[in-house]
Amino acid sequence: MLRNLIKGLRQGVVTTRYPAVRTDPPERFRGVPEPRTGCLFSDLPPASVCPTGAITRDGLSGVYTIDLARCIFCGRCADKARGGALRMNREFELSGRLRKDLLIQYSRDAQGRVAEIPLELVDQTTVVDRINTRIYNIFKDSLHLRHLDTGSCNACDWELNALLAPHYDIRRLCIDFVASPRHADGVIVTGCVTRNLELAARRTFEAIAEPRVVIAVGACACSGGVAGTSYASAGGAANILPIDVYIPGCPPRPEAILFGILLAIDRIEQKHHKSTTERSSP
């Protein structure tokens, strides 16, 4: 016991300072597939290289789409691109409030090169800076989330567990996971929704008091992932529950999950304001 105490004192603080200080992922981390500067549109890989159907290519409009909700970040598209047209960047702050926020689209410019089609995205630049203000103003002391595994491979679950460890220590931000939905402010879902757990997912959601938030973690919860929709799976959590924040990845990094939770807090504030307005109106 004494030996471990001395070792801890020598080691010092090990908790990351994220989100106050941005952390860089490992050198070989696979982020978003993106075209290299000046690459040709014709060199982009065909949609058939993606095992989950995250890539679509519209022959009529010429639009090339990468769906991050379906992407498992395997890197096959970058390997199959001619001349190294695609590369995997190191971005992990990819959460979006709407499903369309996870769509990246490209077109062909006059020179035959790749040009990104701008989308109207949610402003996420100030979310991290306002984390404590959001929590204290809305939930006074803390944000409690109920983890709901609806059929995952447990990879996303392990990343959630890592948030509770000393390195990430999500409790320092007054965020915690609870055992009962009746004690929770929202639910965080991992895995595609299996048919046997559809009813349990609905009942868990209904047991949480308003205003409540639903966060989908990982490709399976965001879109159905590799499993998709079948006789045994209802697909993504959005087919069963109203999703407020999508966190793509297979699995997403703990920091990516934390960023999505911060984004969800901003969404909760909107719901809280709406419910307060409805109660105060005659």
> Which three-class secondary structure string do you get for the chain?
CHHHHHHHHHHCCCCCCCCCCCCCCCCCCCCCEEECCCCEHHHCCCHHHCCCCCEEECCCCCCEEEECCCCCCCCHHHHHCHHHCEEECCCCCCCECCHHHHEEEEEECCCCEEEEECCCCCCCCCCHHHHHHHHHHHHCCCEEEEEEECCCCCHHHHHHHHHCCCCCCHHHHCEEEECCHHHCCEEEEECCCEHHHHHHHHHHHHCCCCCCEEEEEHHHHHHCCCCCECCCEECCHHHCCCCCEEECCCCCCHHHHHHHHHHHHHHHHHHHHHHHHHHHCC
pLDDT band at residue 111 under the 50/70/90 scheme? confident
How much is the mean pLDDT over the chain? Answer: 85
Contact assessment for residue 76 and residue 94, using Cβ atoms and an 8 Å cutoff: no
Tell me where in the chain the CATH 3.40.50.12280 domain(s) lie.
Answer: 128-280
Rounded to an integer, the average pLDDT of 93-117 is 89
Average pLDDT over residues 57-85: 88
pLDDT at position 38 = 86
Give the full edge-to-edge strand order of the sheet including 55-57: 55-57, 64-67, 103-108, 114-117
pLDDT at 104: 92
Give the tokens for residue 256.
Answer: 């990516």
The reported pLDDT for the residue numbered 58 is 84
Q: What is the pLDDT of residue 139?
A: 59
Please tell me which residue, 48 or 9, carries the higher pLDDT value: 48
Q: Which CATH number fits domain 33-117: 3.40.50.300, 3.30.70.3270, 3.30.830.10, 3.40.50.20?
A: 3.30.70.3270
What is the dotted CATH code of the domain comprising 128-280?
3.40.50.12280
Q: What mean pLDDT comes out for the span 219-246?
A: 92
- Lowest pLDDT segment from 22-31, 80-89, 139-148, 197-206: 139-148
Residue 2: the pLDDT is 78
206 HSE (CA, 13 A, CB side): 7
Question: Among 224-228, 241-245, 264-268, where is mean pLDDT lowest?
Answer: 264-268
- For CATH 3.30.70.3270, the residue range(s) in the chain are 33-117
Q: Which residues contact 149 (CB under 8 A, 6 or more apart)?
A: 157, 190, 191
pLDDT in tens, 120-166: 544 444 555 555 565 556 655 678 999 999 999 999 999 999 999 98
